[in-house]
Amino acid sequence: MQKNIIFIIVFLIFSSCGYNSLYKNSNIKNFKFNFELIQTSGDKYINNNISSVLKNYSDKNLKDIVKIKLNSSYSKSTISRDKKGKASKFNIVVTTDFNLINNDKKVKKITITEKIAIKNISNSFQQKNYEMKIKKDLSRSIARQFVEKLTSYK
């Protein structure tokens, strides 16, 4: 009898704790915007990747248009060198400024920066391909972060 009472009390306490998943109702793919890139400057490869991700979240049927001026930059710097003085590790930084425009006036500026440290590959062709893949991944991550920030402003 005591076990049943303890079980019922424990069950009532834990069943009414009010736990909800943090991102359960905020599925980012359900949010749609009507993006219009007014101006892009900086790294064209990064801008193209960001633009392609934003197209996935864009709905041309919406009346509210989010006008964006996009400025991206890419930098690669040496972190460490080996005994011969050759670079062994690099730091890659991609920074993107999203300027939201309404009636030809800047309303909001959102800056997102992504960084990653990579090792040097002896084959220069493989190194270049690896860096391009990193650039693509970082720019897509930045675009998703931008959409998440926009949904929090809405």
Rounded to the nearest angstrom, the gap between the alpha carbon of residue 101 and the centroid of all alpha carbons in its chain is: 20
Rounded to whole angstroms, how far apart are CA atoms 105 and 99? 10
Q: Domain segments of the chain: what residues?
A: 30-153
Does the pLDDT at position 141 exceed 90? yes
Rounded to the nearest angstrom, the gap between the alpha carbon of residue 117 and the centroid of all alpha carbons in its chain is: 17
Closest CA to 152 of 22, 10, 40, 48: 22
pLDDT tens digits for range 3-38: 788 878 777 676 655 555 544 444 445 567 888 888
Token duo for residue 18: 């009010």
Rounded to whole angstroms, how far apart are CA atoms 123 and 40? 33
Contacts of 119 (CB under 8 A, 6+ apart): 88, 89, 90
Rounded to whole angstroms, how far apart are CA atoms 8 and 31? 41
Asked whether 113 and 93 are in contact (CB, 8 A), the reply is yes
- What pTM value is reported for the model? 0.75
pLDDT tens digits for range 37-82: 889 999 999 999 999 999 888 888 887 788 899 999 999 999 999 9
DSSP state letter for 29: G
| Fold (CATH) for 30-153 | Double Stranded RNA Binding Domain (3.30.160)
